[in-house]
Structures are given as structure tokens and as C-alpha cells.
Chain A
């Protein structure tokens, strides 16, 4: 445990403490930090509705991305875990391979697919499902699709690693006792893989909320998310103190959510044991 704690302590806690401190000072006239003015102004500004609404909107989009990524990632992880053991690692690798290419060019590929004269629209029209091109790009749909696409493999990995050692005899026992497939899944498989589902959901949510390339390119820059906001404050506005305050706020909210979730999970587990 020690090497990990030292690594994080030196290379995360200490640097982040520096950033945290800057949140209490003023932006220098030409960027950087003016260390002569101590202030809470950056935090009050971060609490303005303009920024809060961006937080809420990002949380909604990241939440939707996490939901859809779980929806399509879970069955995929399940299918991989139920494949012949000797194929499993290869299948996992195959799911990750596309993501060893560059994010930017993958995103460009989606623009080619989704634009009004792109493959997706031609395909839909060929099927006779639509008569005119659908607006598939530069909107929330495209952003969520882009996020789901890029992060679904992480869900697959997280759930797979939780599922892989799941004893099939539990499910068999459940079925022997007369439970249907759905009940078995709902009462046995899903609860047993809950840690994997939680880890996968957290991955998609946190990676989505910090993402700034997808809203820029697939959203056509028309959606402002927290990731872009913080990126822009640090680099475009060169307002490190305000960018720091926004980040501190983001991290605090996420940690609170995490603890709330952990407490709820513990309580649920406690109750479950009580019934058994």
C-alpha cells in the first residue's frame, strides 16, 4: 500500500494543494496569480447561477452517458464473461483496440458518419425509416453518443472483472428454485455485480464531466460543459484562481455524492443481511 500512497501524496496531494491555495487569490493582470490579494471572490463567483447551471447541465449529460453506457456495456460484459474462457481475454482486447487510436481522429470519424450527407443518414433513408436527413450532429445527441462510444469499453472492463468470477451455481440454484431468468438476473446476478456496475458508472460519469473535446467537436461548441469551462478558465481566460475554485467545487460535489452513495450502499447491504 505504501508506494501507492506515497506516489499519490507527492504527485497529487502536494500539487493540488498548490492549486487549492491559488483559488484564494486574484488573477494577475496578464495571467498567472496575483499573490498580494487574498479573496473568497472566486468561490462566490463559482456559486453564480451561470456556472451552477453549467454544472447541472453537465451532470445531466454525464449521467445520461453513464446510463446508456451501462445499458449497452453490461450485456456485452456479460456475454464476454460467458464466452469460452480462452476467448475472453482476446474479446476484451478487441473491445479496447479501437481506443488505442487518437481521440481526435475517432471524433472526426463520427463527424463523417453523422453529418447530413453521412453514412448514418444515408443508411436510415435507404431503410426507408426517414425521408429527410436527421440532425444527428452538433447537438446533445451527438455529444452523448460520442461519450458513450468512447467510454463504453471502460464499463465493459469494470463489469467484466466483477462478473468473471461470479459462480454460475448461484444462478443455477435460483433457476432450480423456480425463479425466471429476469428474476434471477435482478435478484442474483445484478446485486453480485453491483461493485462493477458502480465502478463502470463512475468511470463514465467522471470522464464525461471532465471531457472537453466531444462537446467542442460533436456538440459544435454549442454545449457548454464543466470540462470546457474549467479548461477555458485555465487556458483561454488565463484565470487560474477562478479555474481552481471551479475545480475545488467540482471535486467537493463529486466526493459528497460518492460518500452519499457509499453510505446508501452500506445501509442497503446491512438491511439485506438483516432479512437473510
Chain B
């Protein structure tokens, strides 16, 4: 009897799931996808109190994951996505990002004028910047004898730093370090030039402790590493624990990374999504981002509202928007991605 019971229970469970799936569609609410902890915890509650619209927050670990999911599912179920600018650009090209009606987002006025001049989307036609910054060198000033000034200080490290350095493992930033050191564009796709970068980075690999884009600041704090390639905001997490940690943008420059918000073209709640975008552009959110995430934000009202002691403790917060705009943004590589990804594989598989 037991067996029959188990079997029928399994069948009932299966049927119930199928039924539930058909019914689940009914409720109307806004679904956004973001990195966990990238906006104030109580934001959905406050937003609901003000507008009556319920917001559900889905989380993604990386740009790549949400991108894969949205491409395979055509964005089904999502209304607003937080992604970095090259991904926003691709979403637009794939027809998944919606064209934005600025009349419905009055708080766009809170942004710096520079926020509307970003190369991936001049005029914010499909994306709104949420945070931005640079990629540079983060180091222990008490261990590294001469303060680093160039990408070559990382790529061709002094003998005492060998085995004490890390580079970002995400392909685009890994390559950007080499490209900047060699004076190239961070969006280079010419195979001959990429080969030069490859030769340099294969040599660098032999001197690295690791490729790391999640715990490098922790490695600096523990002393495992002395000099790492880092996003400025993440270097600040290290500085918060150990004031001897410092950040510098190398003389060859940096990329300008921008995290953006994109509305999904297939969204069935566009008006609610506009209200959400407008709400998040309030000064409060920008201020929260700076004070809690330690990133810079293109939200001028937010930057103006922060406690100015932050700028002293974390000098990279004070980089002016006009200076940020001098750096080149990472762009979607289009068909060049094939060559690019092969070069990256050649580097990561080299011995």
C-alpha cells in the first residue's frame, strides 16, 4: 500500500504544481532585478506607502546572469533591471530595453549634466545611470615601497610584489588593464592589437597571486595581497577596515564604469515602472548609495547631500563628473566578442 501511496502523492504533487503555475499569473506588481544590497532595504516599503504600488525585488549575482536569463526568457516577468552600461547597450540592441519618456521621470533633473552625455546612451534614451566610477589600483601604502602610478606597476611588478598582486577576473576589466597600459582603447577588437595585450597579460599571469573580483579587498586587509586591480568603490571597503589602504587611478587612465537602470520593453506595468524610476532618482537614494555602498553616484542632489567627511576618508569619491567623463566606457563589442573571448581563454588557460 505504501508504494501506491507514495506514487499517488508524487502524481498529486506534480499536478498541483502545474495548476499553481497557471494561477500564479494573476497578481499585478512591479518586479525589478538588482544586485542584493544595491538599494536601501526599506525602499520598496516607502515606495508602496507613497504610491500604493507593490515592488518585488529579485536579485542577480552578475550582469552576465541576468543578461542570460533575460535573453532566454525575453525579459518575461521583469519590469526594471539594474545592469552595467555595456549590458544595457546590448539589451537596447536586442530590443529588450524600452525607450524612455523623460516627461514621466521629472527627477532626471537631479542628475549631473554629464550623466546625459554617456557614450553608450547620450541623452538617456533607454538607460538611467545609478552609480559610476573608475577602475584602478588599490594598495597597502604601508607595504608597497613606492606608490604605484602606472598600470605597469601591476602588470610588471617589482620583485618584492610578485605573488602579492591580483587582477580582476571579469574578462573586460582584465583586458582593460593591459589595453590601457599599452595605450589602446578599452574596446579594442583588432586581433593584432589583442595579441599584444595577450602577450603582456600572459607574462603578468605568472606574477599574480590570483584573479579575483570578489574578495580582493579582503586579501589586502589580511595582507595576503599588497597591490590589486580594483573598482574604486570596492577599494573603499578595504579602506574602511584599514586606513593604510589607498586607491589611485594610474596615469594611463581608467575605464568609466556605469551601472544603469533599464526598463523592460515587454513590461506590462510601464507607468508603475516610470514612477519607480522617478522615485529612485530622489536625492535620498543617491545619498544612501554613497554612504552605504561607497560608490559615486551621478545623482547630483544625492552627492550634495552627503556628509563631506566621506570625501576625505575616501578620496576617490571626490573625482568630479567632468573628470570621470574623460575616461572611455566599456562598450558592447558586438561581433568582436568572438575574437575577444578567444584571447581571454588563451590567457586564462596559459601556464
Q: Which A positions have Cβ atoms within 8 angstroms of B? A: 3, 27-32, 50-51, 53-54, 57, 108, 111, 115-117, 137-138, 216-217, 220-222, 224, 228-229, 232-239, 242
Contacts and interface: CB of A to CB of B under 8 A. Distances in A.
Those 3 A-B pairs whose CB atoms lie nearest each other, nearest first: A220-B210, A221-B211, A237-B341
B334 interface: yes
B211 A29 contact: no
A235 B171 contact: no
Contacts of A228: 348
Contact of A115 (B169, B205, B214, B222): B222
B342 A220 contact: no
B338 A239 contact: yes
Nearest to A215: B348
Interface in B89-106: 90, 93-94
14 contacts: A30-B332, A30-B334, A50-B342, A108-B215, A116-B224, A220-B210, A221-B210, A222-B208, A222-B348, A224-B345, A232-B345, A237-B337, A239-B341, A242-B338
Given A111-B215, A221-B210, A235-B67, A30 B93 contact: yes
B307 interface: no
Given A220-B211, A236-B64, A237-B338, 9 more contacts: A31-B90, A51-B345, A216-B169, A232-B341, A232-B345, A235-B67, A235-B68, A238-B64, A242-B338
Contacts of B76: none
Contacts, number: 93
B71 A117 contact: no
A27 B338 contact: yes
A56 to B, nearest CB: 11
A129 B94 CA distance: 59
Contact of B346 (A50, A57, A137): A50
B207 to A, nearest CB: 11
A23 to B, nearest CB: 15
B348 A31 contact: no
Contacts of A51: 345
Given A50-B346, A221-B210, A238 B169 contact: no
B338 A31 contact: no
Given A3-B10, A32-B94, A221 B169 contact: yes
Nearest to B223: A117
A116 B94 CA distance: 47
B212 interface: yes
A217 B224 CA distance: 14
Interface of B: 10-11, 62, 64-65, 67-68, 71, 90, 93-94, 166, 169-171, 205, 208-212, 214-215, 222-224, 332, 334-335, 337-338, 340-342, 344-346, 348-349
Contacts of B169: 216, 221
A44 B205 CA distance: 28
Contacts of B337: 27, 237-239
B71 A31 contact: yes
B171 A236 contact: yes
B209 A138 contact: yes
Nearest to B341: A237
Given A111-B215, A220-B211, A236 B341 contact: yes
Given A238-B71, A239-B337, A29 B212 contact: no
A30 B336 CA distance: 10
Among A3, A117, A236, residue most surrounded by chain B Cβ atoms (within 10 Å): A236
Nearest to B74: A32
Nearest to B90: A30
Contacts of B68: 234-235, 238
B341 A29 contact: no
A235 B342 CA distance: 14
A54 B166 CA distance: 23
A53 B350 CA distance: 10
Contacts of B209: 138, 220
A115 B219 CA distance: 10
B42 to A, nearest CB: 26
Contacts of A32: 71, 94
Contact of B348 (A221, A239, A242): A221
A98 B94 CA distance: 43
A52 to B, nearest CB: 11
A235 B212 contact: no
A136 B214 CA distance: 20
A30 B93 CA distance: 7
A31 B67 contact: yes
Contacts of B344: 232
A238 B332 CA distance: 11
A50 B205 contact: no
Contacts of B346: 50
A238 B211 CA distance: 21
A31 B348 CA distance: 22
Contacts of A216: 169, 211
Contacts of A117: 222-224
Nearest to B93: A30
A111 B212 CA distance: 12
